Structure 1
Amino acid sequence: MEQLNLYPVAIKVQGRRCLVVGGGNVAERKVAGLQECGAEVVLVSPELTPELERLVASGRVIHLNREFEEGDLEGVHLAICATDNKALNREIARLCENRRIPVNVVDNPELSTFFVPSVIRRGPLCIGITTGGNSPLLARRLREELEEHIGPEFGELTLFLGKLRQIIQERFSDPEKRRKIWEKVLPPGFFAHFQKEKMNSWRKQVEECISSPWE
């Protein structure tokens, strides 16, 4: 496979229609990932896993109980092919390309226009790891390794920094002052010493930092 330099992006799918073709275990994982991000999931397959059947029964997934049809792509924000039918996957990829719909064909990087990374989520903090389709297992192993070092406290930290960003933007109009404040709030080597039990004392230091004169 030709080596690709991928352009990493994070796509908003909240409230948007996303298509998953297939009803097996892989499709189940793809549906779960899309739902976690608030997507409106349309699932096309005559057969489903018990978990997918449960989601359909709960009304959380729109299920088309049949084989894929071209009209299923109408109004779709992105598509994921998770079937073991190579000819069908290729046809869906072609149709998506014609309609300029991003498509991921599971286990076929050449047909895919985007890849779903192995993800670590800590609240609003999202870290994605991809190998460009070369080795999904490597991406998973790296994720497992990083999860040992990036705990739930990083989600709390991210939320706090989001609120702090608003305060700093409102209080300081000079971009250079903002930069200096952020460098003091998050100095080099910060994460090596950051621990949940030290969060309160760190917040106090941050409050003192933004309250001090910056003329």
Structure 2
Amino acid sequence: MKKYLPVMLDLGGRRVVVVGGGAVAERKTGPLLEAEAEVVIISPSLTDMLAAHAAAGRLTWMNAEYAGGELAGAFLVYAASNQPEVNEAVAGEARKLGIPVNVASHAEAGNFITPGVLRRGRLTVAVSTSGAGPGIAAKITDQLAGVLGAEYEPYLDFLHRMRSEIKRREPSAEVRSRLLRRLGSLDVLNEMRQGTFIEWTPGVIEAWIAAERER
């Protein structure tokens, strides 16, 4: 079995080329736009959703069949047409250029696959079955959505805010480390689940840090 390395890519402002304009291309494009990639779609036709994105200026549409030579400068490539031979040609060009490529019709022809993704604000959970079945990955992702509820978004925002304040206020690396460990032991997540959490004001944060510093 092929082993894949999970990574989180910053695609902000990066050129990503998607070959194909159908339902598969639409599924691939949504997360790319969410990640603020500069998406270029090569296809003689688009789904209504992709056409709306193009009309709104959220992506660039090259209204043409893939003919080769259009991938230069791309950070990632998605071969997502409904023609396997086109996808194979796209994969071949991407490999020659050293550009990572995902091939929808034949995962083994590419060098990266796209997982199921669950987002809760700062929390991102990726689920992959290493090609065993995208439908199963989607089902597992849905199951995780029932476990990792909406409370994780404000909880992680709280942790981020507190970590920032601790690092800003405490010069000692040793004390900072102790404060961060104590932060992780707070029962804030459960309070948010139960609806009993009261937002910490700057004064409360300052008092908590001062008290924990003296322990």
Q: TM-score range by the shorter chain?
A: 0.7 to 0.9
- Which residue number in structure 2 is paired with residue 30 of structure 1? 28
- Which residue number in structure 2 is paired with residue 210 of structure 1? 209
How far apart are 1:176 and its partner, in Å? 3.5
What secondary structure, in the 3-state scheme, does the structure 2 residue paired with 1:19 have?
strand
- Which residue number in structure 2 is paired with residue 154 of structure 1? 152
Report which stretch shifted further, 3-12 or 181-190.
181-190
State the percentage of identical aligned residues.
32
Matches within 5 A, 1:111-126: 111-126=109-124
- Which residue number in structure 1 is paired with residue 93 of structure 2? 95
Amino acid paired to 1:112: G
Amino acid paired to 1:41: V
TM-score, normalised relative to structure 2:
0.87
What secondary structure, in the 3-state scheme, does the structure 1 residue paired with 2:70 have?
helix
Q: 1:173 to 1:108 in 2, by over 3 A?
A: farther
Show CA shifts across 1:48-98 (max 9, x none). 112222222222221111111333212211111111222221221122122
Aligned-pair RMSD on alpha carbons? 2.5
Show CA shifts across 1:85-139 (max 9, x none). 2222122112212212111111422112112111111222211111222221221
For 1:35 and 1:180, locate their aligned partners in 2 and report how far apart those are by CA, in whole Å.
39
Count of matched residue pairs: 213
Is 2:33–2:39's contact at 8 Å kept on the other side of the alignment? yes
Structure 2's unaligned 5+ residue stretches are none
Q: 1:114 to 1:198 in 2, by over 3 A?
A: farther
For 2:181 and 2:98, locate their aligned partners in 1 and report how far apart those are by CA, in whole Å.
41
